[in-house]
Structure 1
Amino acid sequence: MSDPGVTAASEPSTKRFISGVVEGFYGRPWTMEQRTELFKREQKWGLNTYLYAPKDDYKHRMYWRDLYSNREADQLIALISKAKEHEVEFIYAISPGLDITFSNPKEVATLKRKLDQVKEFGCKSFSLLFDDIETEMCPADKQAFSSFAHAQVAITNEVYKHLGEPETFLFCPTDYCAAFCTPSVSQSSYLHTVGDSLLPGVDVLWTGPKVVSHVISVESIEEVSSVLKRPPVIWDNIHANDYDPQRIFLGPYKDRPSDLIPKLKGVLTNPNCEFHPNFVAIHTMAAWCKAMAEEGQRDVEMSDEEQDHCYSPQKALTQALTDWLQEFLNTDQPTGTCRPPTRLKKESSDEEPMQTDVGESSYVPGPGENPLYTAEPLTLVDLNLLSELFYLPYEHGPTARTMLQELDWLKNHREAAAAETDTTAEWRSRAQHFDEMCEAVVQMFNRLSNAPNRRILYDLYDYICDIKSGVGLARAYVKTLGGRGPPSAQLMNNDPEPWGFRGGLSGEFQRMLPCHGNRDLFRHPPMSTVYSIRPYCPEDKMEVQRIFREMQRDGEGKVPTTAQPLISDGLSAGELPPSAHCALVLEDEMGVCGFALGLTDASQAAAKIQKAVCDSVLGDFPSLLTIRLLPRVADLAPAKGMVGGLLSSIRGCGSKGAFCELRHSDRKMLDFYTKLGSFKIIQMAALPEDIVIMGTCL
């Protein structure tokens, strides 16, 4: 087999706009029953396509060569038939890229045989996926093809022609988003090969600027369309959650202007792994797909943040949640599914309740006894809150943002809760408001837990339990600050219960890495400057010394000429070398603007420079760190990242504690270490009056 040598036509034949769902996530595939339910919803909402590509169907990906058994064949035949019944185009995708040898005719024949089998099931549309695979070709393929792209295009063209050039045939490139293209989309030799050589009847899947794209702009689609010589089909991961088991996304389809629609061949959403919570994702995307067709037939009221005259994410979300509420209240359950064991409002039913205590009257509580627990029905307000708590990958919903802002303010102004100040009344008012928002989350959890449709609840249960626990911890913390009760046993302490903190091994790994948390969706204060933290190298010595001299001469932290030297002065001035892997540099667009240096064992330096640091202190805090920031660094978040990275390295060397030296005149850094919470002042009798020593256990 050799390079295809096929030139794509500039104008492919006109086909319908592809719109629907791709089951393409990693994790447990959906059941046949769930897929059938999906087809019904797609037909109802005006979508027309389903792409079968579950990564963990082993005959789709890992064991793509194996034919389907008779039982599996019957299931696929029934599924394809159900899709056709509901006017949904069933596209069968296969992912042979993990281990296929492109130049081996037997491998190509095996691939054709597998797709021929699926074609016999009644499937007329197909897709070849080469995503998430290694790009290095085996020696045999290197001899046969000039590039990886040529190998993929050659086999795709051959299979496409073998299947009779089906009307719908999709190709997923290995470089399926702009972030993967080298050096850029317009200069990608891989994409240019695909555009030049892939047959014109084959459409190309594309996820946008990133794997999970925040915004997909018209300009970005025009750029990739020019290279591919065809409009792409968007494989949209905006609601995908297979990369993080703690997140689920219930916000609307957004940040894709409806002006995109004429520029695309189609859009397929690859949503949450859990089937039932995808109601909002698919419902709102269906509304987006109809936006251009319904332009002029409706008057869309937009919020201040919305600028799309054809589609309003907020209106689409409200309509989706209104329809979803009816699903929650639906008691038509599969056999074996139980209704909640609580007393719901009386409703008419033909069912006769199971009687176990015939002749006994219902229990009625007496005077002074607790009333019977009666679950209140789920409301649209509850679902709106749920959506805002689990919104989208790049943003929290409005209520979630408000809760984070309020907690941040209450924490930073906690002194107002302990003593009468000008802000005490405001603190108490905002604390009460925060408590009411927390209570709304608890009540939402209770009503969700008692909703009749248990199938939806069970898909959501882990997530709503987790958010209820997190909100409960924050609520208890604020109450403790306000003096409305003793410190809660739930709050973090030196020996927390396992249920009192989020984490696991993954959390431990993340906390040991530099800059952990710099991608949090909630930041305070917001960063307007882009900072980067990198390891210190010998070439940085001059810049570090310059910053040290500037800090000694000007502003806060100015050092009198008669002041006693510090160990950290020796580090900053280059007189003492930092320990291995214990030096970081902070840069902004103007250059180096800060640094953090450390000594894993400061005992020798203390004996020479700062004798006031006694052996008892060094026994508990053997390591030292120092951090310096130029005045232009107003945001202290990067400083926290450097301290976290430095402490991780020091702890990795076996140290059990670290200390820092500060002067009373350096108010900025004194306030910084105090607000970190983990550093405490160490009292030492022989310490000069202008010096403060603070330490933290590791």
Structure 2
Amino acid sequence: MTPPLGIVEGFFGRPYSWAERTALMQFLAPHGYGFYLYAPKADAFLRRRWREAHPAEEMARIGTFATACRAAGVKFGVGLSPFELHFDFTPETKTDLTRKLAALGAAGCEWLAIFFDDMRGDLSDLARRQAEIVDFAAERTRAERLIVCPSYYTDDAVLDRVFGQRPADYLADLGAALDPAIDLMWTGEEVCALEFSPGHLARVAEQMGRKPFLWDNYPVNDGPRMSRHLHLRAFTGRPAVIGPHIAGHAANPASQAMLSAIPLLTLAASYAEGEAYAYGRAFQEAALTVCGPELAAQLTADLNVLQDANLGDLSEARRAKLRERYAAFDHPAAREVLGWLDGAYAVTGEELQTQ
């Protein structure tokens, strides 16, 4: 069983261009990707400056992308992160939220995601406060589906160290306070989960009072450490047997849009093929589909270097040799490798703090 499968563009650093975003969406649509959540961390008007209107030109681009999604049979959604609104849900911020929801609806937002991640959450009544915000939004949005990312969206204790200790029973309290029709996102046992198991997902579903909607942090490669690697390998640890245990599966792609399509195709294959899925073969078939035979062969030959070696540890001579290889290909995936080699996709710690 393949659950609703799609993209959550939710990474830090350099966002996709609208052309890259559209090309990735249109490429994946025939392969089972049925939704696209636009939520780049670099879009300040969805995050720290959410109370301000998008510039008219940018809102027009969002509307154009929404139209392209509809034409491809893909549900278009927006991830709105109303930064620390649970500390300041006043008549003024309610007015701002109403205005923002109306603007997103007018632009063609079919799914609305409200993200409470990446913000302080150590309040004893956090679940109640956030449920109040979600209920308010649910009454005012045109969206047909509402998805919420909790402040604590994984068992990983790193969130407690960074954003404050999670309230006791937070996940259960939030689930109990929300309409059962509203989805709750979950990244797994860790922020970047190695695998998802039916047993773990069943436990989370019991806490939430609904099946979790997966936010899968692969092949994302943002952050100072991960941006030094290209995530190209096929998905593992997402067996088809988890399908009945989840409400949806949103993959957070890598900073390189076209290269992301390689592992993303393998996620669809993992569900479709079930026990017959083989990740090595899946990678080869996906690389061939995305890149053609010659570039796929080159990526296969260099896979260990591109994914496992740290870009900062590569000698200039090694980088020059790689540049020479990929400069020979007139393909967007090859150009992304070249950009990565030149540091165009590097993400700094400052961006993690300010976006």
Identify the residue that residue 388 of structure 1 maps to in structure 2.
304
The 2-side partners of 1:440 and 1:318 are apart by 24
Q: 2:191 aligns with which of 208, 211, 222?
A: 211
Q: What is the letter of the counterpart of residue 172 of structure 1?
A: C
What does residue 133 of structure 2 align with? 155
State whether residues 116 and 151 of structure 2, in contact with CA within 8 Å, keep that contact through their aligned partners in structure 1: yes
Aligned with 2:128: secondary structure? helix
Which of residues 211, 227, 232 in structure 2 aligns to 1:231? 211
Give the CA deviation at 1:463. Answer: 4.6
- What is the rounded CA distance, in whole Å, between the counterparts of 1:113 and 1:127 in structure 2? 16
Structure 2 unaligned runs (5+)?
Answer: 161-166, 310-316, 350-355
Structure 1 runs not aligned, ≥5 long? 1-15, 138-145, 293-308, 330-377, 401-438, 467-504, 507-698
Picking from 434, 448, 455, the partner of 2:326 is 448
How far 1:240 sits from its partner (Å)?
1.3
Change (3 A) 1:442 1:34: closer
Alignment partner of 1:458 is 2:319: no
3-state SS of paired residue (1:127): strand
Cα drift, residue 444 of structure 1: 6.3
Between the aligned partners of 1:458 and 1:25, the Cα distance in structure 2 is 20
| Distance of 1:17 and 1:119 partners within structure 2 | 25
Q: More displaced, 92-101 or 17-26?
A: 92-101
1:657-686: CA deviation from partner (whole Å, max 9, x where unpaired): xxxxxxxxxxxxxxxxxxxxxxxxxxxxxx
1 CA distance for matches of 2:19 and 2:119?
31
Deviation at 1:167, TM superposition (A): 3.2
SS at match of 1:41: helix
Q: Counterpart of 1:179 in 2: which secondary structure?
A: coil
Contact 2:36 2:77 in 1 (8 A): yes
AA of the residue aligned to 1:286: A
CA displacement at 1:284 relative to structure 2: 1.2
SS in 2 for 1:44: helix
Q: Structure 1 pair 188/388, CA: closer, same or farther in 2 (3 Å)?
A: farther
Summarize deviations over 1:469-499 as a string: whole Å, max 9, x none.
xxxxxxxxxxxxxxxxxxxxxxxxxxxxxxx
User: Any idea what SS the aligned residue of 1:211 has?
Assistant: coil
**CA shift at 1:440, angstroms?**
11
1:255 corresponds in structure 2 to 237
Q: Does 1:78 align with 2:56?
A: no
Give the secondary structure class of the aligned counterpart of 1:178. coil
In 2, the alpha carbon distance for the partners of 1:261 and 1:234 equals 10
Aligned twin of 2:5: 19
| Identical amino acids, percent of aligned pairs | 24
CA contact (8 A) 1:232 1:264 kept: yes
**Where does residue 197 of structure 1 map in the other structure?**
177
CA distance in 2, matches of 1:441, 1:261: 41
Q: Which has the higher contact order (CA 8 A, sep 6+)?
A: 2
Could you say which residue in structure 2 is the equivalent of 1:288?
270
Structure 2 residue matching 1:290: 3-state secondary structure: helix
Deviation, 1:38, is 1.6
Match of 2:45 in 1: 59
Q: How does 1:440-519 map to 2 (within 5 A)?
A: 446-453=324-331, 455-461=332-338, 463-464=340-341
Matched to 2:111, the amino acid is: S
Indicate yes or no: 2:18 matched with 1:40: no
Partner of 1:291, secondary structure, is helix
**Partner in structure 1 of residue 73 of structure 2:** 87
Structure 1: distance between partners of 2:334 and 2:4: 31
Deviation, structure 1 residue 212: 0.8
Of the three residues 67, 77, 92, the one matched with 1:106 is 92
Determine the structure 1 residue equivalent to 2:312: none
Relative distance call for 1:450 and 1:161 in structure 2 (3 A) is: same
- CA shift in 2, pair 1:250/1:77, >3 Å: same
Q: With the length of structure 1 as denominator, give the TM-score of the two structures.
A: 0.44
Amino acid at match of 2:230: I
Contact 1:212 1:236 in 2 (8 A): yes
Shift in CA distance, 289/47, structure 1 to aligned 2, threshold 3 Å: farther
Partner Cα distance (2:249, 2:50) in 1: 26
Q: Give the superposition deviation at 1:220.
A: 1.0
**2:285 aligned to which of 294, 319, 322:** 319
* Contact 2:9–2:37 under 8 Å retained in 1: yes
- CA distance, structure 2, for counterparts of residue 27 and residue 118 of structure 1: 23
Residue-by-residue CA offset, 1:545-570 (whole Å, 9 max, x unaligned): xxxxxxxxxxxxxxxxxxxxxxxxxx
Matched AA of 1:385: A
| Structure 1 residues 38 and 71: alpha-carbon distance in aligned structure 2, compared to 1, 3 A threshold | same
In angstroms, what is the RMSD of aligned CA positions? 2.7
Task: Tell me the secondary structure at the aligned position of residue 55 of structure 1.
Answer: coil
Amino acid at match of 2:327: S
Could you tell me how far apart the structure 2 residues matched to 1:36 and 1:215 are? 29
Counterpart amino acid of 1:207?
A: T
Figure out how many residues of one structure are paired with residues of the other and give that number. Answer: 328
Q: Which has the larger radius of gyration?
A: 1
- TM-score, normalised with respect to structure 2: 0.84
2: distance between equivalents of 1:172 and 1:324?
A: 31
Question: Could you tell me which amino acid in structure 2 is paired with residue 277 of structure 1?
Answer: L
* Structure 1 contact 125–168 (Cα < 8 Å) conserved: yes
What letter corresponds to residue 381 of structure 1 in structure 2? A
